[in-house]
Amino acid sequence: MENTTITTPAPQLGRPVNPNSARQIRIAELEEKRKNGTCKRGRPIVGESKRQETLKAREAKVNSGIELKRGRPIVAGSKRQIELAAKEARKAAAVTVNQ
């Protein structure tokens, strides 16, 4: 017996593409802009805005080696800090009793 295979062309799936449609023209223009690097996406950056000034100041601090603080500052005499200190003291006392 010979091993023979019959190949039939696969049917074209989906709708036919009309290259002259407005959508296809727009897609082609976007692809061309992406290749050129002129595709502008998103909201443009305003260089003189308060946010940009803040980012530049932050970057300057990082570049100069200043350590940036993150989060809220800890107030030593606050109710929460007193509670946390008491909790740590109880935890330390429990560890010494168990040993």
Q: What percent of the chain has pLDDT over 70?
A: 96
Residue 17 to residue 2: CA distance in whole angstroms: 42
**Distance, C-alpha 9 to centroid of its chain:** 45
Residue 18's Cα: distance from chain center in Å? 37
pLDDT tens digits for 38-62? 888 899 889 999 999 999 999 999 9
Does the predicted TM-score (pTM) go above 0.75? no
Q: What is the pLDDT of residues 60-78, one digit of tens each?
A: 999 999 888 888 889 999 9
Question: Does residue 98 carry a pLDDT above 80?
Answer: no
